[in-house]
Amino acid sequence: MTARTTRTIMSETSAIAPRAQALKMFDGPVTDESLRRFLEGIPGVDAVGLEQRAAALGTRSIKTTSKAWAIDTIISMIDLTTLEGADTPGKVRSLVGKALTPDPSDASCPRPAAVCVYGDMVGTVIDALGSAHGEISVAAVATAFPSGRATLSVKLADTAEAVAAGADEIDMVIDRGAFLSGRYRQVFDEIVSVKRACLREDGSAAHLKVILETGELTTYDNVRRASWLAILAGADFIKTSTGKVSPAATLPVTLLMLEVVRDWHRLTGEKIGVKPAGGIRTSKDAIKFLVTVAETCGEEWLSPELFRFGASSLLNDMLLQRQKLRTGHYSGPDYVTID
């Protein structure tokens, strides 16, 4: 692609209307100056207070009946994920089989919200889901996941191909280098452009999850600014991590992102989802996140439409805990599939 073509694309995307509320908030076009003034004017995060609040929420106890409900709710919020270079159609079909029947010994077990794969595997997931496609969504990572190091044209083609293949949801990554360099308008325009690439021919659109990769943003202040930026640009969900960078989803970072979503809802009435991804492997940890959601945004966020877990191994522990509540004893690891 020539430099002229790239400039033309950027010029065209600059004219795309971002989230309507952003225009109202800035009282006019979104510019580098207005974005910088807004984002850098956001009050700094009280790191000690944030971490203390997260720690306190993590100590809440859950009674047996509530725990049973929590386990089923968490299972229904999982994006069952495989994002490896060694993924094969057979491995993906096996993962879909697990999504369709998480616990063969108990037909009442809920299904996860989505199966998340690379874009070239979308068709395989759809074929394997059959009539269950709709109950279980198909999510695809895009925009040169996980690094985000590619030209805009490549990122848009990556997104458009996944949507054309039938993806219901797109998980994009922001350009962390641009964000950390203070090029907020570039990041904003890319999100707006990817949002447009999520449009289908029939006028509907795939939901857009924007991955901040919080482990590379370094500070809580940057996480807060990136969350606001993504929402202003049109994110349907804000997501912590790719799962490829450590630290991934931590409770304090997720709490901070939930606070941004709560504040946006109070300001505009719009509901934005949150997705922690990476490193959440046990029911004990997942329940802490569930409590944090309820205490921060309210119980209406306790649904797959507004909260997800990006995970591959979490489902196994949830199934073992669920079997324990049902039978009174723990099953061995051979009672669940090997991922």
List residues with catalytic annotation: 171, 239, 275
Helix, strand or coil, per DSSP, at residue 182? coil
Q: Is 141 exposed, middle or buried (0-12, 13-18, 19+ CB in 10 A)?
A: buried
Which pair of tokens denotes residue 285? 């940890």
Between the alpha carbon of residue 155 and those of residues 150, 160, 168, 286, 339, the distances in Å are 7, 9, 17, 32, 29
The Cα–Cα gap between 188 and 229 comes to: 7
Amino acid at 177: G
Phi, psi of 328 (to 5 degrees): 90, 0
Q: Are 106 and 71 in contact, with CB atoms under 8 Å apart? A: no
Of 156, 155, 167, 79, give the one whose Cα is nearest residue 122: 167
Which pair of tokens denotes residue 310? 């990006």
Q: Are 142 and 148 in contact, with CB atoms under 8 Å apart? A: no
Q: What is the dihedral of CA 240, 245, 251, 255, to 10 degrees?
A: -30
The Cα–Cα gap between 47 and 50 comes to: 5
Of 160, 68, 138, give the one whose Cα is nearest residue 110: 68
Amino acid at 166: G
Neighbour order of strands in the sheet with 169-173: 273-275, 237-239, 207-211, 169-173, 137-142, 114-118, 78-81, 309-311
